Structure 1
């Protein structure tokens, strides 16, 4: 809200110019540097009764982790119109991300009381209960959804997530498979099925990872799941090939460079490992692991001074990273050894 600055005028001037209307000084809101936010601030300053303006501004606040602002705006929007479920959804998210889980749960519970058969809101409730490890309550909510619509794939997916969390893996697999039967495009269900079978050392895992890729070939995470499976099963060349494919799809996908670099280290292909870690640094200079692993590659290539700089940079970016500290101490110990 904009605070109004009132200009004090002398009484004599009011008397003299009684027939004239004095212009009120105009106040301008300070720019935030975000054009969309600046526009919303101006609009809200002129009209405090438009619920959609508060909601739109809350979305910007939430995206920028300004949870107090998001919560305040959403509460204002709800006061103006309490029958918009998406307001409650975002308010619940803001509370949850702000470590106010009780308020987050109460908010989405209130939403489902207002809209008792609205499936997206019930799914949101089940998800919130799952996050809070209220597995029985979350399962009860998924059952409630299925009584409304027995073909809700997301409800079976949420059921599988709960059952997996309590280690009821056989029933979890049934739930995830049912979810994919209803909605074959449910990528996460295919990936999780792959993970469950991989944990059981069942090669069927690869079939599920391939199914995920077939659903969304432009999604790096589907390829990553398969590559990681191959990596863990000593199919290194195949894994490296997929990591290269991932970075064709998304050149900013850091995990592909990281895993490929680590695999090259394991193969003693140090120049190739260095190249992967160096690309990581160019993509995201503030990522401490990139510098640490490039330091390892530099050290193995005999470039001790460069390795030291990399370890120091890694530690500067993450002061609690013990491995970088240990690496620096090891370099210092080697340097102090007699020739």
Structure 2
């Protein structure tokens, strides 16, 4: 599961709300040329007509961000903030862009600055605690959570963030206690139930299954929850049930290649070679550079007696990851002895 609990959507909601309330009277910097992206180009046209509207820059930054145009997104967010530096959502969005652009120092500075500007913003403090956690600054993350709970003693997301910190630190008991409080205060907090299931998997599998099922009752079509339950079943050696769940993800999201891949691995364990190959075919269809899928498809083909096709798959695997030792060894083993 994704650790992030303060999502881009919330940041964008802040962007839209505050932008609607703020105009601005500063001159815009020269704008970008046409890109071929209709959404970006439409926003560029609106900016040309209303160059002092910070919300337009933020909206265009969001589209650049979604398309991994990080430099352009940062430039647009700087324009938006020059026009409206008080907009919390603008700061949040800029921090997200920096973080995904591997500029963690700038991301953290951005969040720390906006937290200093708005010390009572629960959303900002939650996001800051999340950033600290992502950067493995657990003490700082938990100190920020304490600040949240001083303001809102029953904040479920705060207890959730306590849980993920304790879980990563290996303190299972305190992690369980934190996640339990989180779902007590917010019974619809799906990630809380999933984490409880994962933590109980080794000590009480029956209870763990109940927690995964609770999460699925809340959202039965969430691929990440289904994947988590399938992983649990796999680890409990319920391979056929796990396969069924992995395959069911493909009915919801046909681009979810890891579900196909995991099903393929389990079919290999069951020596169902044709079925395994079919799953690896689907994986590669979604992700044509999935070097592990090529390798394991090669293994399936080798066991089925198709040595030449097996070799081709091992070679393809090494094309995408030349140092993949499993493929190197398997291919070497198929070479004729000198």
| TM, length-normalised to structure 2 | 0.85
| DSSP 3-state at the match of 2:213 | helix
**RMSD over aligned Cα atoms:** 2.0
Partner of 1:18 in structure 2? none
Deviation at 1:122, TM superposition (A): 1.0
> Which has the larger displacement, 282-291 or 256-265?
282-291
The answer to whether the 8 A contact 1:157-1:189 is kept is yes
Q: Does 1:336 align with 2:334?
A: no
| DSSP 3-state at the match of 1:204 | helix
Partner of 1:274 in structure 2? 277
Deviation at 1:2, TM superposition (A): 4.8
Deviation at 1:137, TM superposition (A): 1.8
In structure 2, which of residues 81, 85, 88 is the aligned counterpart of residue 82 of structure 1? 85
Question: What per-residue deviation string (whole Å, max 9, x for no partner) do you get for residues 248-282 of structure 1?
Answer: 33333222221221111112111111111112222
The answer to whether the 8 A contact 1:2-1:45 is kept is no
| TM, length-normalised to structure 1 | 0.85
Q: 1:277 to 1:124 in 2, by over 3 A?
A: same
- CA distance in 1 between partners of 2:146 and 2:259 (Å): 39
In structure 1, which of residues 115, 130, 152 is the aligned counterpart of residue 118 of structure 2? 115
Question: What per-residue deviation string (whole Å, max 9, x for no partner) do you get for residues 101-129 of structure 1?
Answer: 22211211111222221111111111111
- For structure 1, which runs of at least 5 residues remain unmatched after alignment? 4-28
- CA distance in 2 between partners of 1:33 and 1:241 (Å): 42
After TM superposition, list the pairs within 5 Å mapping 1:124-273 onto structure 2: 124-200=127-203, 202-273=205-276
Deviation at 1:30, TM superposition (A): 4.5
- For structure 2, which runs of at least 5 residues remain unmatched after alignment? 1-28
Question: What per-residue deviation string (whole Å, max 9, x for no partner) do you get for residues 182-232 of structure 1?
Answer: 111111111111111124465422221111111110012212222222212
Deviation at 1:84, TM superposition (A): 0.8
Partner of 1:305 in structure 2? 308
Q: Which one scores higher on RCO, CA 8 angstroms, separation ≥ 6? A: 2
Partner of 2:17 in structure 1? none
| DSSP 3-state at the match of 1:91 | helix
Q: 1:258 to 1:106 in 2, by over 3 A?
A: same
In structure 1, which of residues 278, 290, 293 is the aligned counterpart of residue 293 of structure 2? 290
- CA distance in 1 between partners of 2:135 and 2:240 (Å): 41
In structure 1, which of residues 99, 107, 121 is the aligned counterpart of residue 102 of structure 2? 99
> Which has the larger displacement, 86-95 or 160-169?
160-169
- Alignment length (residue pairs): 310
| DSSP 3-state at the match of 2:201 | helix
Partner of 2:74 in structure 1? 71
